[in-house]
Structure 1
Amino acid sequence: MTLFSYIHLSDLHLCQQPLRKNAVSLWGRRWNEVIDTIGEQRKQWGFSSFFLPASFDPEIAKGVAQFCADWRDGVDGIIITGDLATTGLAIDIGVAEQFVKEPAAFAHLTQSRTPTIASLGLPIHLFAGNHDRYVNNGAKPFSNYFDFIFKDYMDLKTSCVGSWTVEKNDRHLAFVHADFSLSMRLGASFPRRAMAYGQGRVYVDVLDELRAETLRLRSDVDGVQIVWLIHFAPYECGSSLQLHDHQRLIDASRALGIKVILCGHTHEALVKTVASQTIYCAGSSCCVDNAGGCMVHVVDFDLDEAIDVTRSTYVWNENQDEFVFLRSD
């Protein structure tokens, strides 16, 4: 048995304005909670903040960094499948940059007591999600500022596709990621201005680059097992979060023999089988808008003749102030 283990984080939504909730995310909550939230947030950030993208919980973000610190001797690295920041604005990317790059002064905290994973001695692999591509708070695509700040962590081979390979006991495991964020609002369905917030599209040129990088790795690395990483969930998940033409991606993965895809975006942790592919969708690590609680994952890849994957999911427990084990998939 040859085992590779990674912490899988997604949809942190780090931002200059913490605890910012969006009006849409308040829909369906208890009235007393809605009233309290509106009163508190209006005082801190103004009423207009309810029409901006939802951000993160700073205490849970510290818990994410603590979880990574606790696991650093038991994993091979950290994978972040997009939406590290709430927008691609420099002020929000700066908060994400602190989390990834700023050295720790106290355990998993920086000098200014913000969370960081920079000093754990673990490889960090990441790529952009749709939020990271926002040029402004109105979800206008397509900002490249994320790439400028995090290029050393993205393993890019083209502008939208990257990969890296690890080896143990003469077994090789490769990860290939692709960015299917909208290149312009015209790629969203109607009403475009609203749907551009959460939709993506499987562009043919990016899919071709993903396919080409997969074939290159197969040619260059004998016996390599390959995992695909994307931000968007490649299945039906509601019009507002839809990855348009996701069947193209599923068809390509099946044709290339890709058995495992890791993703995020929906803020809902689940495991879904589509055709012959198993999709491991991560929950949101610390966004205030989450489904079923904030979650982090440890994914084990067991390489023998084939690839066998086991995922352990941990959910934030506010009473214990830490992530606790929830289930294995």
Structure 2
Amino acid sequence: MPKTEPERQQYFSFWKPTSYDDQPLLAAADFIQEFSNELDLLFILGDVATTGLDEDLEVAKQVFLENRVREHLNAALEPRFGGLGVRICVMPGNHDRYKDDLGTPGCKSFDRVFGKIYEPRRGVFLTDVDRDGVSLCIISADFCFAEDSDPGLLRRYGRGAVDDQVLAELDNQTRNYQYANPGTPVVWALHFSPAEGVPSTLVLEEREKVNNLAKYLGVNHIFCGHTHFRKREIGTHPHIYCAGSVSSIDSVDNHFLHVCTVSKGSSGTLQLEVFDLKYDEIQDQFVSYPVSLEA
């Protein structure tokens, strides 16, 4: 029996890490199905499960990998993304790495459950898209606390830290791709935001290492999640886009989808534009939000 909104918030906020609200999640599936012919890739920036325990990851697996039975629904009329005809990429967030409800980091079960669509090398995973001669490469890096780290009880819940080995692999894969594909833009995808002004309880520790490397390599765009609020850091390089949450029960009236387009101008330069869509509870659908950012 679904809990009411206050009941769900209280239960998950005090007794377990947060989980999803199936109403905006179903609306997201509606939107993706409607525009599936125009979408090349659905990229999910982490925290797909409540914890990295098998029972929680099984729910996430069903939502994102299980095929639909009736349109985008399964037999129980729950939202499913696996049969929408849009390629899915996913990366882990800190919730997906929790070994227990106490936020102990380092769980590796996510890699096994999502192994068909997430095959990282040293925490870094590369995918690219191409349509009508316009290409884009997305490289994700996992900066969740490692199993052998000891972040302490307060730090472990909302923070991540730049791992030098993962950063070196991010550097390596970016350089290799740029060398083999000159002119094709590279976007980085992180779960934790390296933007300024992120609360200390949600910060990516040593974030300046990521931003400095992005500037050095000419990576002008970073997409990230984690914070549960939409934020833009535009005007300097790299541009940072914090997505917010699509369906977390701790993000009431603050659920977002984002459509990213890449176009080629008459001069041959590529331009990236991000459109925001916000969940409207009255209409029960994601509608255009009056923000469009070009970079």
Partner of 2:287: 324
Counterpart of 2:258 in structure 1 is 297
Counterparts of 1:179 and 1:279 in 2: how far apart (Å)?
A: 17
Other-structure match for 2:180: 220
2:45 aligned residue: 81
Q: Is the 8 A contact 2:144 2:161 kept in 1?
A: yes
Q: Which residue of 2 aligns with 1:315?
A: 278
2:182 is paired with a residue of what secondary structure? coil
Q: In structure 2, what is the equivalent of residue 209 of structure 1?
A: 169
**Distance change in 2, residues 1:292/1:61 (3 Å):** closer
Q: Distance in 1 between matches of 2:127 and 2:13?
A: 39
The amino acid that maps onto 1:270 is K
Q: Is the 8 A contact 1:317 1:324 kept in 2?
A: yes
Q: How many residues align?
A: 289
Decide whether the 8 Å contact of 2:245 with 2:255 is kept in 1. Answer: yes
**1:172–1:224: 8 Å Cα contact kept in structure 2?**
yes
Aligned partner (choices 247, 265, 272) of residue 208 of structure 2: 247
Identify if the C-alpha distance between structure 1 residues 239 and 86 changes in structure 2 by more than 3 Å, giving closer, same or farther.
same
C-alpha separation in 2, matches of 1:49 and 1:264 = 19
Q: Distance in 1 between matches of 2:135 and 2:284?
A: 37
Does residue 1:269 correspond to 2:191, yes or no? no
- Identity over aligned pairs, percent: 30
Verify the 8 A CA contact 2:36 2:84 in the aligned structure 1: yes
Is 1:257 paired with 2:218?
Answer: yes
Shift of 1:129: 0.8
Given that residues 193 and 227 in structure 2 are in contact (C-alpha distance below 8 angstroms), is that contact kept between their aligned partners in structure 1?
yes
**Aligned pair 1:288/2:249, yes or no?**
yes
Residue aligning to 1:58: 22
Choose the corresponding residue for 2:71, options 88, 97, 107: 107
2:92 — aligned with what? 128
Alignment deviations for residues 6-42 of structure 1 (CA, whole Å, 9 cap, x no partner): xxxxxxxxxxx97698xxxxxxxxxxxxxxx35x778
Aligned residue number for residue 231 of structure 1 = 191
Question: TM-score when scaled to structure 1?
Answer: 0.82
CA contact (8 A) 2:54 2:109 kept: yes
What stretches of structure 2 of length at least 5 have no aligned partner? none
Instruction: Give the gaps of 5 or more residues in structure 1.
Output: 1-16, 22-36
Higher relative contact order (CA 8 A, sep 6+): 1
Please report the RMSD computed on the Cα atoms of aligned residues, expressed in angstroms.
2.3
TM-score by length of 2: 0.91
Q: Deviations over 1:76-98 (max 9, x none)?
A: 11000111111111111111101
How many Å apart are 1:283 and its aligned residue?
A: 1.4
**Would the alpha carbon gap of residues 108 and 86 (structure 1) be closer, same or farther in structure 2, given more than 3 Å must change?**
same
Residues 212 and 152 of structure 1, relative CA distance in 2, 3 Å threshold: same
One-letter identity of the residue aligned with 1:88: G
Structure 1 range deviating more: 123-132 or 301-310:
301-310
| CA-CA distance at 1:187 after TM superposition | 5.4
- Out of 145, 148, 166, the residue aligned to residue 182 of structure 1 is 145
- Whole-Å Cα distance in 2 between the matches of residues 292 and 262 of structure 1? 22
On the 8 A contact 1:268/1:292 being kept in 2, the answer is: no
2:102 is the alignment partner of 1:138: yes
Distance change >3 Å, CA 134–CA 261, structure 1 → 2: same
1:57 alignment partner AA: D
Contact 1:78/1:123 (8 A) holds in 2: yes
Deviations 1:189-222 (A, max 9, x none): xxx2022111000111110000000011112223
Which amino acid is 2:289 matched to?
L
- CA shift at 1:324, angstroms? 1.1
How much does 1:61 deviate? Answer: 1.4
Mapped to 2, the partners of 1:261 and 1:309 lie a distance apart of 12
Q: CA deviation at 1:122?
A: 1.2
**Partners in 2 of 1:85 and 1:210 — Cα distance?**
25
AA in 2 matched with 1:195: R
Q: Distance in 1 between matches of 2:171 and 2:150?
A: 22
